[in-house]
Amino acid sequence: MSCVLVRSFAMSIDGFGAGPDQSLDHPLGVNGPELMDWFFHTRMWRDMHGQPDGEAGVDHRVAQEGFRNIGAWILGRNMFGPVRGPWPDDSWKGWWGDEPPYHVPAFVLTHHARPPLEMKGGTTFHFVTDGLETAVARAREAAGGRDVRVGGGVATIRQFLQSGLIDDMHLAVRPVVLGAGEALFTGINLRELGYACADVVQGERAMHVFVRRT
């Protein structure tokens, strides 16, 4: 059976996975881009955006591995966009332009139904209104034996952890202090939930920590 994975999820050393006051102008929250600075320098990031060069060290290789064998994604509503409540219309199509970086089916958790949204490059967004387990079942079916990646945001990953649905999680721990924002592990006892640290790899701009259900 395919695994449900978290990959390349950035976290500050004080435990925040996003900055405060997320908005259209600040999709990662205030100071949130500091969390992703490890990724922005990699060759993978630059290739994704049609830019030359980029670093090909540990950070690049870990980010690249995070896309290997992924057959479907699951995203929280906030990860898809800043629109709250019922969809006013179908005009919002995500942060990524006409061709999102997923290139496989992506399942968006929401309380408000919306027709599937087919984008360029093989990404189709499906909007799931009946919970995490349904999203996982549909994503696994769509993945066809490959793995399912949970993209976030913080609240979504917290729910998946608390439900024991994450098999393996990669955290890119950045040497920055945000001071405020969305805390990933507050109130979550990973040991009681059956998780343990499986590996640690030091990259150029982040420490890569792998947590796995035992």
What tens digit of pLDDT does each residue of 135-157 get? Answer: 999 999 999 999 999 998 999 99
Per-residue pLDDT band for 41 (boundaries 50, 70, 90) equals very high
Topology classification of domain 4-83+99-213: Dihydrofolate Reductase, subunit A (3.40.430)
Average pLDDT score over residue span 172-176: 98
Residue 205: the pLDDT is 98
Average pLDDT score over residue span 185-190: 96
Residue 120: the pLDDT is 95
For 160, the token pair is 């998946």
- CA-nearest of 68, 70, 90, 73 to 81 is 90
Query: For strand 168-174 and strand 207-213, is the pairing parallel, antiparallel, or unpaired?
Result: antiparallel
Residue 4 has pLDDT above 90, yes or no: yes
The pTM for the full model equals 0.95
Enumerate the domain spans of the chain.
4-83+99-213
Residue 1: the pLDDT is 76
- pLDDT tens, residue by residue, 158-173: 999 999 999 999 999 9
Residue 164: the pLDDT is 93
